[in-house]
Amino acid sequence: MTEDTTGEHEFDPNEYDTTITRTFDAPREAVWAAWTDPEQVAEWWGPHGFTVPDCEVDARPGGAFSIDMEAPDGTVYPDEGEFHEVVEPERLVLTSRAFEDDDGGYQLEVRHTVTFEADGDQTHLTLEAEVASATPAVEESLGGMEMGWSQSFEKLEASVGESGGART
């Protein structure tokens, strides 16, 4: 978020692009499976307190995914998109779309590149989230994107390993 010369707030969605790197105490194949198997995705997707009542993942180039995230208050946040690149077990590139408007368009589109680097029995994961498009109506959600991914990764660590926490 920037200010123009008149002091007015100017929304710039690209200011919310983020890169997160985490090391998981689990083999790369296990972390890969957690990203590509819908039952496993449902275990860790979303911030603390959120659940995933519905999850479909077709992890292949051109394949789609649909994930409903349910907040503690019962609000459901649908997220859907498609896979562009799937290089097992090294790299995923996908676009997600959320916050459907009244005309059936999406107020948020983010391109994610996820890389999985093996290091013995550990996996170094890097997530690059690039905001492709966003409306000012979703600015607050964009502001929480990094925290949401960080909390999701804490849940992912618990899901794939028994060591109790990922290292940044």
Domain ranges of the chain: 19-160
pLDDT, one tens digit per residue, over 88-137 is 999 999 999 999 999 999 999 999 999 999 999 999 999 999 999 999 99
- Which residue is listed with tokens 């907040």? 71
> Residue 26 has what pLDDT?
97
| Separation of alpha carbons 45 and 7, rounded Å | 38
Confidence of residue 5 (pLDDT cuts 50, 70, 90): low
Query: What share of the chain has pLDDT > 90, as a percent?
Result: 87
pLDDT, one tens digit per residue, over 43-84 is 999 999 999 999 999 999 999 999 999 999 999 999 999 999
pLDDT higher than threshold 50 for residue 167: no
Q: pTM for this one?
A: 0.88
> Residue 10 has what pLDDT?
84
Selected from 3.40.50.12500, 3.30.70.3270, 3.30.530.20, 1.10.10.60, the CATH number assigned to the domain covering 19-160 reads 3.30.530.20
CB half-sphere exposure, 37, CA atoms < 13 A:
13
Starting at the edge strand found earlier in the chain, the sheet holding 122-134 runs: 18-24, 122-134, 106-119, 91-100, 76-87, 64-70, 51-57
